[in-house]
Structure 1
Amino acid sequence: MSQNNTAKKVDDMIVEDVDMEQLEIESEDEVVEEAEESVTFAASSKALDATQLYLSEIGYSPLLTAEEEVLYARRALRGDEAARKRMIESNLRLVVKISRRYSNRGLALLDLVEEGNLGLIRAVEKFDPERGFRFSTYATWWIRQTIERAIMNQTRTIRLPIHVVKELNVYLRTARELAQKLDHEPTAEDIALQLDKPVEDVNRMLRLNERISSVDNPIGGDSEKALLDIIPDEKEGGPENTTQDDDMKKSIVHWLQELNPKQREVLARRFGLLGHEASTLEDVGREIGLTRERVRQIQVEGLRRLRDMLTHQGLSIESLFNTEH
């Protein structure tokens, strides 16, 4: 055999080896892709099963009558753990109902429910039945507040590297959970102890969160349209919302009466209250003969006064007014 023929056969063998290696690589890629698809499908099925299981479990908790609600609320205020547990369990469906309204905001339903449950627990701890509110009315504000804060934390950090987002969410969630247990806002030392992390790491993440928070628009800012989110969900009627919206509307009207006439008129026209349609700053200015800037200033003053009134009652103005639009 000539040297050239021998070289050619060697070259052919090398080509065949390369082709086989490429084929093996492509086959491995296909197997990996199929495996990833199977894992994704399995994870989705698992999440769906977990959601269905949770919904079926809470369905067995009976709702409280108005009389039972007052009875258990009074006991819970005195430190009765059994009454506290009963109040929480009988209102878990209310959390799911509210959570579903936020289902397209970037968090899975069970995550929304988990955050809403923290708000429900807080509501049970602070609810005073002697003030005349139904518990569902009071709890709705707390549930919305915790869910909206969780969504805000998720969406405003989405541009960070994914590992940073996950780490930050762990710290923020731990802080919220500790806030339910402690009689003060959790410190960096509290969070570090709970997570078994160095205090320096906690402080670093908290500073990051503060920098991110600084870009958020404050309530009473210059948003073009703000609507009061008190529209009932007609698709899901139930005993838990029979008086909820009426109570809320009456309460808001009462709080508006505490403002001066100009603040009351501006907020009523801006947020669609007292028979008015929700309007822009420009429209309100034309209707009452003021400049757009002056209307905005009055709105800020009125919302600040409302915030002070609600804070004294353990409520949050962010859970009543939606200024995202």
Structure 2
Amino acid sequence: MGQALDPIRRYLDEIGVSPLLSADEEKHYARLARKGDEPARQRMIESNLRLVVKIARRYINRGLPLLDLIEEGNLGLIHAVGKFDPERGFRFSTYATWWIRQTIERAIMNQSRTVRLPIHIIKDINACLRAARRLRQETERAPTVAELADHLGRAPADVERLMGLHKRVTLRSNGQGDDGPVDRLQARGSAEPSQCAHRDDVNEIVDHWVWELNDKQREVVERRFGLHGYRRETLEQIGAEIGVTRERVRQIQLDALKRLREMLERNGFSGDAVFY
């Protein structure tokens, strides 16, 4: 055990000497990095290696050794440095956390021995889960298999088979009690690993683009999802407040989410991972 920990200790000792950047330093180096300055890019990476370790530790016992988790997280960090725009106004750590988690969770899904389903099946299951969430948002009730099948353009029998697999994997994971990587393929119905974003991180980012919606779209999104001090409200409640029908609120919401997803995706985020 001690021998196994030695490389980890050495790595932690090595990265511990890299000082964290202040907000002003972060913007300075990020601007240089965007212009192709390699030392600035390296400084951004080295100053955030401890963030990767902090996040990687949360995935211990998910099927990959800690050093492998750190290595995957570092790849996400490097990608984040390449895509980060300091002019957006949010801290790099917020942006990088999303990419670090994404690469770690993808690695767990792809490499862990405890994964029993092929990746293409897992993707199909997650497509069903995303469709179910969207339809539930629109109708405020659980969709039927027929509605899911129609939304996805698949045969009802295919949807039933995929959701049956999802249920069996979820039950098996719960029975093992190890919170495994198929995790939550997903007992909580979260987005697929390659699109997983945690609300605490994403809300700060979304906030920068919500204000680009028109006033009515912004108010509907804020009320519908409980943003900016609002409590979550139903379509009927929102309609009564802003003086339009329930169906009109639903259409405003769909238009607003479409615009938000487009803006997020243009800036390197997965729109489907935001309002889950």
User: Which category of TM-score, normalised to the shorter sequence, fits these structures?
Assistant: 0.5 to 0.7
Residue of 198, 209, 227 corresponding to 1:229: 198
Note if 1:275 corresponds to 2:232: no
**TM-score, length-scaled by structure 1:** 0.51
Q: Counterpart in 2 of 1:89? A: 46
Note if 1:149 corresponds to 2:59: no
Give CA-to-partner distance per residue, 1:166-209, whole Å, 9 cap, x none.
Answer: xxxxxxxxxxxxxxxxxxxxxxxxxxxxxxxxxxxxxxxxxx64
Cα distance 1:304–1:218, how it changes in 2: closer, same or farther (>3 A)?
farther
Cα distance 1:253–1:275, how it changes in 2: closer, same or farther (>3 A)?
same
Residue of 125, 130, 138 corresponding to 2:82: 125
Which blocks of at least 5 consecutive residues in structure 1 are unaligned?
1-43, 161-207, 232-244
Note if 1:49 corresponds to 2:14: no
Aligned residues: 213
Q: Counterpart in 2 of 1:135? A: 92
Give CA-to-partner distance per residue, 1:201-244, whole Å, 9 cap, x none.
Answer: xxxxxxx643442222368532477898354xxxxxxxxxxxxx
Q: Counterpart in 2 of 1:169? A: none
Give CA-to-partner distance per residue, 1:226-269, whole Å, 9 cap, x none.
Answer: 898354xxxxxxxxxxxxx6xx6454234233446676456445
With 88-97 and 250-259 compared, the bigger mean Cα shift is at 250-259
Cα distance 1:318–1:78, how it changes in 2: closer, same or farther (>3 A)?
same
Note if 1:316 corresponds to 2:270: yes
Q: Counterpart in 1 of 2:124? A: 214
Cα distance 1:272–1:47, how it changes in 2: closer, same or farther (>3 A)?
farther
Helix, strand or coil: the match of 1:144? helix
Q: Counterpart in 2 of 1:158? A: 115
**TM-score, length-scaled by structure 2:** 0.59
Cα distance 1:80–1:306, how it changes in 2: closer, same or farther (>3 A)?
same
Give 1:51 shift.
2.5
Cα distance 1:131–1:285, how it changes in 2: closer, same or farther (>3 A)?
closer
Name the CA distance, whole Å, in 2 between partners of 1:156 and 1:300. Answer: 39
Give 1:126 shift.
2.0
Contact residue 220 and residue 299 of structure 1 kept, 8 A: no
With 79-88 and 254-263 compared, the bigger mean Cα shift is at 254-263
* Higher radius of gyration, 1 or 2: 1
Name the CA distance, whole Å, in 2 between partners of 1:249 and 1:292. Answer: 25
Please tell me the residue identity of whatever aligns with 1:118: L
RMSD between aligned alpha carbons? 4.0
Name the CA distance, whole Å, in 2 between partners of 1:152 and 1:219. Answer: 17
Please tell me the residue identity of whatever aligns with 2:56: S
Cα distance 1:295–1:265, how it changes in 2: closer, same or farther (>3 A)?
same
Q: Identity over the aligned pairs, expressed in percent?
A: 61
Matches for 1:184-195 after TM superposition, within 5 Å: none
Name the CA distance, whole Å, in 2 between partners of 1:47 and 1:262. Answer: 57
Give 1:92 shift.
0.4
Name the CA distance, whole Å, in 2 between partners of 1:104 and 1:300. Answer: 39
Name the CA distance, whole Å, in 2 between partners of 1:308 and 1:153. Answer: 28
Helix, strand or coil: the match of 2:131? coil
Contact residue 63 and residue 114 of structure 2 kept, 8 A: no
Note if 1:67 corresponds to 2:24: yes
Name the CA distance, whole Å, in 2 between partners of 1:104 and 1:58. Answer: 23
Give 1:89 shift.
0.7
Give 1:273 shift.
1.8
Helix, strand or coil: the match of 1:62? coil
Helix, strand or coil: the match of 1:214? helix
Please tell me the residue identity of whatever aligns with 2:104: I
Name the CA distance, whole Å, in 2 between partners of 1:45 and 1:293. Answer: 63
